[in-house]
Amino acid sequence: MDIKAKTQRDTTFKTEVKEGLSSFPKYLSSKYFYDKKGDKLFQDIMAMPEYYLTGCEFEILATHTKTIGELFRDRENGLDLIELGAGDGKKTKLLLKYMTDNNFNFVYKPIDISENAVKLLTNNLAQEMPSLTVDAEIGEYFEVLERLKGFNKRKKVIVVLGSNIGNLLHPKAIDFLTKLKDTMLAEDLLFMGFDQKKNPQTVLDAYNDQTGITAAFNKNILTRINRELDANFDVNKFTHWESYNPESGTAKSFLIATEAMDVRIKNLDLDISFEQWETIHTEISQKYDDKTVAWLAEQAGLTIETSFTDKKGYYKDYVLRKI
C-alpha cells in the first residue's frame, strides 16, 4: 500500500472513531475489526461449527462448481475474475481450480482491505496454482470500485462471497450494488453470497459462540484503538452482546460497559465516559430472503439471473446482471 493511501486510511480511522464514540448511542464500524489479530479471529470464526455460513457456501460452490464455472465462461477474449473481500480464498479456490483445469483464459484479481490476507493468499496461490495469473490489490470496497471501471476490455465477473454485503445497512448495500452495477457492461456478472433468514436461534448461536471467539473478535476493536490511538480501554470491562430481529433479519453486535468508566484516547485528545450498561454498536449482519435480495437488486439496476443454495437452504449465492 502506498504511503498516501495509508495516511488517508489512518485519518479516516481517527475521524470515524472520534465520531462514533462521541455520538449517542455510541457506535464503531465493523470494518475496523480486521487487523492482524482480527483476521486470525475471523479465520477461527469461519472454522467454528456454529458459524454455518462458510460451510454452506463451500457446499454450494463444491456442489455446483461446473454450472457456476460455465456461467462465468467467456467465448471471446477471456475474462477478469474480480473478488472483493477475498480473505483466504478457500471457497474461491474451488472455482479457480475448475477454471484452470478447463482452459479458461482469465486473470484472478483478489481485493481485500487486509494487507495481511492479500499477502497470504497471493503466496499460497503461487504455490498451489502456479499456472494461475493473480493480480491482487489492497483496498476498501468503495475505494476500489472506481478502479473496476477500467476493467472493461473483456468480460468481468465480480465475486463477493461470505455474505459480506450483510455488514451494510440496506441504503449502503444499495449504494454498493449500484456502484458495482456502474462498473458492469451487459455481459458482466455479479456473483454474490447472501445469508438467508432462518431459525433465529441458529443465527444467534453463530454470532454468540460458547467458546467466546466472536466475543474476542468484537472486543478486538477496542484493543486496536488502544494500540493505534494510544487509548486506555479496559477491554475486560466490556461484554459482547448479540441480538437478532427475525422480522427485519438484522443481527446486531454490541459491546456493553459492565461498569461506569472514563476512557482517554490520547491521539484524538478525547475523553469519553461510559455509564454502566452503556452500549457501543459494532456490527450488523443482515439476513435475507429472495424478496429482499430482488428488491435490493432492482433498486440498484440489477436483476437476479439465477441462484444456488445449500441442502438446508441456510445460504444463497445469486448471479446478478445489469438490467
Position 282 contacts ligand AVI (CB under 6 A): no
Q: Which is nearer to ligand AVI, 150 or 171 (CB)?
A: 171
Position 196 contacts ligand AVI (CB under 6 A): no
Q: Which is nearer to ligand AVI, 114 or 164 (CB)?
A: 164
Position 69 contacts ligand AVI (CB under 6 A): no
**Ramachandran angles phi, psi of 78, nearest 5°:** 85, -175
Residues in the chain, total: 323
92, 208, 285, 292: residue in contact with ligand AVI (rule CB under 6 A): 285
Cα–Cα distance between 300 and 294 in angstroms, integer?
10
Count of chain residues binding ligand AVI (CB under 6 A): 12
Subset of residues 84 to 143 that bind ligand AVI, contact rule: CB under 6 A: none
- Enclosing H/E stretch for 306: strand 302-309
Q: How far is the CB of 45 from ligand AVI (least distance, A)?
A: 5
Position 249 contacts ligand AVI (CB under 6 A): no
38, 69, 166, 249: residue in contact with ligand AVI (rule CB under 6 A): 166
DSSP 246-306: TTTTEEEEEEEESS-EEEEEGGGTEEEEE-TT-EEEEEEEE-B-HHHHHHHHHHTTEEEEE
Do residues 14 and 229 touch, judged by C-beta distance below 8 A?
yes
Position 283 contacts ligand AVI (CB under 6 A): yes
162, 280, 293, 308: residue in contact with ligand AVI (rule CB under 6 A): 162
Cα–Cα distance between 108 and 156 in angstroms, integer?
10
The residue ranges that bind ligand AVI (CB under 6 A) are 45, 53, 162-164, 166-167, 207, 214, 217, 283, 285
